[in-house]
Amino acid sequence: MEGGNNVKKAIAAGMILTFVVAVAVVLAQPDIIDLGYLAKIYQPAKFNHKAHATAYKDCKTCHHEWDGKGQPKKCSSCHKAQAGGNTPDMKTVFHTQCKGCHTKEKQAGKNAPVGCNDCHAKKQ
């Protein structure tokens, strides 16, 4: 019986540690991130990382290759201006992932940007 309690305590401690590490990673991120990878004719899009992390909580929704340890990679570490092999280009990723989610949110009656100039201000 004593061994069973130790296992339960170890599992609980592991879950608490995982939660604490996840919170620390989220808090270490800047609140607003400039997404300027595609900024030839537009200003960089302002991505509110803090708002998205708070609302959606599952970091792997966007950081799909992250193992939950350390800092997640930036999108640009894998996704480039041009597609390569099975890895889609940055524009495709943002328009599929971000705009796709925003479209669903908008259809659900939430305030989510879906138009080009909602995220991308034209350069002067």
What is the per-residue pLDDT across 74-118, written as a single tens digit (0 to 9) for each? Answer: 888 888 888 889 999 888 888 888 889 999 999 999 989 998 888
* Model pTM score: 0.60
**Residue 121 half-sphere exposure, CB side, CA atoms within 13 Å?**
8
Query: What is 2-119's CATH number?
Result: 3.90.10.10
pLDDT over 90 (residue 123): no
Nearest to 66 by CA among 84, 78, 50: 78
Amino acid at 65: E
Q: Can you give the residue ranges of every domain in the chain? A: 2-119
